[in-house]
Amino acid sequence: MMDQPNHLVIFASASVLLGGELLLKEAEVWRTVINQFRSACGERDYKLVTSADASDGALLDIDAIADLFEHNKLEAKVYHSRTNFSRTRVVAPNPATAVGWTGDVYMDEVGRIENLKDVFEAVIPIIESNPKFELLMATTPPPDDKHYSFEMFQAPSREWKHSARGNWYLSPSNIDVHRVDAWDGQLANVNYYHPKTRAPITPDEHRALAFDKVAWDRNHAVQFIQGGTAAVSLADLARAMEIGKTDCAAFSTSERVFL
């Protein structure tokens, strides 16, 4: 925003609450920037006045600055002149409005965006129209393998060499993906803590404590797990097997035998 006049930065959030967190992070950055500018101005007998100043001239706290953003339609502006400005906006991932996102686009938890395919279809021609535009997406693997992000970002089947820098791979959709799992995080000094003792524990110890191992493998081990929404319920399948066990034949695809 400070580097490019008339530039738009879109944060497309799958959750209003997550959008609020983005604003808080942005407020922290701007508070640091403004304080540094103010310090530099003071050394030259200049004075910097902002809309985030309190009545006594001091800069508002982080929550108050974030509140300013919220009451400004989740938008922040940086003016390069009286008529030229760049801005950030926090929006819902809506394909109907995505056609107007002419700038950088950052999307969080895309694996939870129900209409991701439509949003991506609307955004990608805009991103490709200008070499300065960036599209960054972040997510864990989706809980349902029918979700569009499953086929977009599915990782190749191989043993990953754990690194504090994570690993890069080219996805089936020809997108560069930065993969960071729990063991990579451990090497980067990102720790897990025991739920009761609060002592640091390893990723393997954390998984052993997890009630839902499949969810852990998806969210922490970054595994793309086949499964998700079934066309037939487990109860119906069990009932059909019970009714037909004396009259029907089953074929095992793994053992290649009739049962």
Q: What is the pLDDT of residues 107-148, one digit of tens each?
A: 988 998 888 999 999 999 888 888 989 999 999 999 988 899
What pairing do the DSSP bridges indicate for beta strands 85-91 and 104-108? unpaired
Rounded to whole angstroms, the Cα distance separating 1 from 6 reads: 8
Query: Residues 26-47: pLDDT tens digits?
Result: 778 877 887 787 788 776 666 6
Rounded CA separation 195/197 (Å): 6
Torsion of CA 225, 226, 232, 238, to 10 degrees: -70
pLDDT reading at 73 higher than 70: no
Q: 3-class DSSP state for residue 6?
A: coil
| pLDDT > 90? residue 72 | no
Structure tokens at 146: 């029918």
**Model confidence band, residue 163 (pLDDT cutoffs 50, 70, 90):** very high
- Residue carrying the six token digits 């939870």: 112
Q: For the full predicted model, state whether its pTM sits above 0.95.
A: no
